[in-house]
Amino acid sequence: MIDENKVCNAPTFRFYGDEFIFDTSSGMCYRINSAAGFLLRNLAAGFKDEQLVSLMQDQYGLDRTSARRDVELLLNNLTELELIG
């Protein structure tokens, strides 16, 4: 389940194109795929969990369950990397 209480430190992301991000706080950088880039940009823009799901659906023509699973997986990854939490 998407954790509605998750606090996102998204403003510390800096994007270089669609597939490279730098976290200005941790100094870590990541190669990402374009779907992750799309989600992170929207996360950085302040969109929250269910909004992200809707955006994923619209962008990639996914059903709601698949979109929710993708968002959840990405947020979990970001939490593990301590980029949000």
Partner 1 sequence: METPIRHQLADINNQLKSIAISGLHRGENPQPGAAVIASIRRSYPEIRIVGLSYDPLESSLYSRGMDHPDVAYLMPYPNTGPDALLERLEVIIEKENVGYIIPCLDMEITNFISISQRLHEWDVQCMLPDKRSLETMSKLNLYHFCHQIDVSSPQTKVATDLSSLQDFATEIGYPVYVKGRFYEAKIAHSAQDLIDASKEISKVWGWPLIVQEVIDGEEYNIIGLGDGDGGIIKTCTIRKFQRSATGKGLVGIVVENSDLDRLAQCIIKELRWNGPFELEFLKASGSPYSLFEINPRFPAWADFPSQIGCNLPARLLEDLIGIKNTPLRTCVAGQMFIRHCIDLVGDIGELADMANTGVRNISPFKSNMEVTG
Q: Give the binding range for partner 1 (CB under 8 A) out of 24-32, 37-45, 51-59, 61-69.
A: 24-32
Q: What type of residue is 51? A: Q
> Binders of partner 1 among 61-80, rule CB under 8 A?
80
Helix H or strand E segment including 31: strand 29-31
- Considering only CA atoms, give the Rg of the chain: 12
Contact residue for partner 1 among 1, 17, 27, 65 (CB under 8 A): 27
Beta partners for 20? Answer: 31
Report the interface residues with partner 1, using CB under 8 A.
12, 14, 22, 24-28, 80, 82
